[in-house]
Amino acid sequence: MKITMIGSGYVGLVSGACFADFGHDVICFDKDQTKIDALLAGRIPIFEPGLDHLVASNAAAGRLSFTTDAAQALADPDAVFIAVGTPSRRGDGHADLSYVYAAAAEIAAHIKRFTVIVDKSTVPVGTGDEVERIIRETNSDADFAVVSNPEFLREGAAIDDFKRPDRVVIGGDDPRALEVMRQIYRPLALGRSPIIEMSRKGAELTKYAGNAFLATKITFINEIADLCEKVGADVQDVARGIGLDNRIGSKFLHAGPGYGGSCFPKDTVALLKTAQDFEAPQRIVEAVVAVNDQRKRAMGRKVIAACGGDVRGKTIAVLGLTFKPNTDDMRDSPAIAIVQTLQDAGATVRAYDPEGMAQAKKDLPDIGYCASAYETMEGADALVIVTEWDAFRALDLNRAKALLKAPILVDLRNIYPRKAVEDAGFTYTAVGR
Ligand code: UDX
């Protein structure tokens, strides 16, 4: 199949490279010349394990190319995937669909034969209808069908998620379009991934409902963690105890500083906007959004409490800034609110993150960036783990203790066993334990 990806960001680039790896002919388009130049030179503009190799091997095999030229990208595709950003619109939190609609108009102008237009960007219910309307309005002769095919990949595990998905969701009712989509995903069907077909609106809503449910699961266990602290129970025991019930499932029950990232915060808020527009309030999701927002600063206050209630003039060493490990993404990272809470309370913050520091400098310009985990600790009054990078899981606690002014460890990701840390002479604060 000949596939064009409009947008070479996270989803576009990973999907494009994976489709090429399936044997399809893929052209990735982006308006951003710098991004395309980098890709043409073999540089990957994002940090994602394995992506550099996947892009290089498929480009070398001639199945994957990059361009800023829309006419070239849209010369003769069987399917065009719209994988552009849908950020939160400033002011009202609705998904900003201007990039999606601009892509639709651009595609329309180039359609010469039957083409499937695939919405892969996360878009609110009804966007497919609007894309269809724009294409018809721009090119009344166009032979096309619009389908929704939301993407569920996670950053840091993107390639594996794409190639071994729990399911692929395809929304649409045009038989020719569905056949093209089945061909595109044939390698996954052969690998026994369930491919489910439904209405376009059903597919659009599935993506939001899925993310909102996962955000709810995390927020639920975070509140249970708070209760565990009060009653003297361990949230990891409770999570295991409930997670082994197949109806609940053990994933996404890790208590922590609250969810962040490019998806959950934006998609939960966008779902609430849709719910408002259709007068079908989503009160559970409303609560999730509010609880998660408050949690981030509350984690900053937890650190202050661990330092004896006052951090004025103190130096706090922070390990991990990205919203989760194996990414350089800082979007809505809990680290931002945590660091700001500490700074507002008069602390000086020193931090280290294996991949996120270049991004972090934009959100958090006023912290001392260090070259290693141990450098952050030199003379610091407390050590805080905010993101669970593997590199922080086996710290030399004796060395840490020797470097720190006070042996205080706040582990906001519950990656250390309490006993080992206390045996090493630390005061240990975790989440829900
Ligand atoms: C998410 C969805 O998982 C993915 O399906 C969708 O396509 C995009 O959004 P992503 O944002 O990459 O993916 O990260 P994910 O691994 O889901 O984590 C999101 C946030 O939740 C992170 O801040 C993470 O630290 C937090 N989290 C996750 C928890 O606090 N506890 C958990 O148990 C799981």
Residue 107, token pair as written in the block: 């595609």
Residues 233 and 189 reside in one and the same domain: no
Domain count within the chain: 3
Instruction: Out of 18, 28, 228, 263, pick the active-site residue.
Output: 263
Residue 204: count of CB within 10 angstroms of its CB: 25
Domain containing residue 374: CATH number: 3.40.50.720
**Measuring from atom 21 of ligand 1, which residue has the nearest CA?**
259
Q: Last residue of some domain: 289, 317, 341?
A: 289
Report the atom number in ligand 1 closest to the C-alpha of 256. Answer: 30
Residues 177 and 40 in one domain: yes
Same domain (yes/no): 27, 148: yes
Whether residue 203 is contained in a domain is answered as: no
Any domain includes 215: yes
Residue 185 resides in a domain = yes
Q: Which residues of 170-196 are buried (b: 16+ CB within 10 A; e: fewer)?
A: bbbebeebbebbeebbebbeeeeeebe
Q: Is residue 202 part of a domain?
A: no
Name which of 335, 301, 332, 325 is nearest 393 in CA terms.
Answer: 325
Domain termination residue (choose one: 240, 259, 289): 289
Phi, psi for residue 31 in degrees, rounded to 5: -75, -25
- Whether residue 348 sits in one domain with residue 406: yes
Pair type for strands 25-29 and 2-6: parallel
Indicate the pTM of the whole model: 0.95
In angstroms, the first-to-last Cα distance of the chain is 52
Beta pairing partners, 65: 27
Return the number of other C-beta atoms located less than 10 Å from residue 339's C-beta: 26
Residue nearest to atom 15 of ligand 1 (CA): 154
- Residues 54, 186 within the same domain: yes
Smallest CA-to-CA distance from 79 within 197, 201, 176, 221 is with 176
**Same domain? 308 vs 338:** yes
Q: How far does Cα 161 stand from its chain's mean position?
A: 12
Show the DSSP H helices in 61-196 as ranges: 70-73, 98-110, 127-138, 158-163, 175-184, 186-190
* Burial class for 283, CB neighbours closer than 10 Å (0-12, 13-18, 19+): exposed
* 108 assigned to some structural domain: yes
Q: Are residues 192 and 212 in the same domain?
A: no
User: Among this protein's residues, is 370 annotated catalytic?
Assistant: no
> How does pLDDT run along the chain (433 residues), one tens digit per residue?
999 999 999 999 999 999 999 999 999 999 999 999 999 999 999 999 999 999 999 999 999 999 999 999 999 999 999 999 999 888 888 889 999 999 999 999 999 999 999 999 999 999 999 999 999 999 999 999 999 999 999 999 999 999 999 999 999 999 999 999 999 999 999 999 999 999 999 999 999 999 999 999 999 999 999 999 999 999 999 999 999 999 999 999 999 999 999 999 999 999 999 999 999 999 999 999 999 999 999 999 999 999 999 999 999 999 999 999 999 999 999 999 999 999 999 999 999 999 999 999 999 999 999 999 999 999 999 999 999 999 999 999 999 999 999 999 999 999 999 999 999 999 999 999 9
Is 257 near ligand 1, meaning CB less than 6 Å away? Answer: no
Q: Residue 343: which residues within 8 A CB-CB, separation 6 or more? A: 349, 366, 367
- Residue 99, number of CB atoms within 10 A of its CB: 19
Domain that holds residue 355: 296-429
**Confidence at residue 90, expressed as pLDDT on a 0 to 100 scale:** 84
The reply to whether 9 and 131 lie within a common domain is: yes
Query: Going edge to edge, which strands form the sheet with 2-6?
Result: 64-67, 25-29, 2-6, 79-82, 115-119, 144-148, 168-171, 195-198
Tell me the best of 263, 326, 388 to mutate to test the pocket of ligand 1, counting ligand atoms within 8 Å of each CB and taking the most.
263
| CA distance to 8, 24, 205, 431, per residue, from 213 (Å) | 28, 33, 12, 22
Please give the number of the atom of ligand 1 that sits closest to the Cα of 251.
33
Q: Which of 244, 265, 289 finishes a domain? A: 289
Pick the residue whose CA is nearest to atom 6 on ligand 1.
152
User: What was the ipTM of the complex prediction?
Assistant: 0.98
CATH of the domain at 256: 1.10.1040.10
**60 belongs to a structural domain:** yes
pLDDT of residue 344: 98
Is 360 inside a domain boundary? yes
Same domain flag for 303 and 174: no
The pLDDT of residue 91 is 81
155 in contact with ligand 1, CB cutoff 6 A:
yes
Q: Are residues 387 and 305 in the same domain?
A: yes
Considering the domain architecture, whether residues 326 and 300 belong to the same structural domain is answered as yes
Q: Which atom of ligand 1 is nearest to the CA of 262?
A: 11
User: What SS3 class is residue 429?
Assistant: strand
157 lines ligand 1 (CB under 6 A): no
Tell me, yes or no, whether 192 lies in a domain: yes
Residues 255, 380, single domain; the answer is no
Ligand 1 within 6 A of 259 CB? yes
Q: Which residue has the least CA distance to atom 3 on ligand 1? A: 154
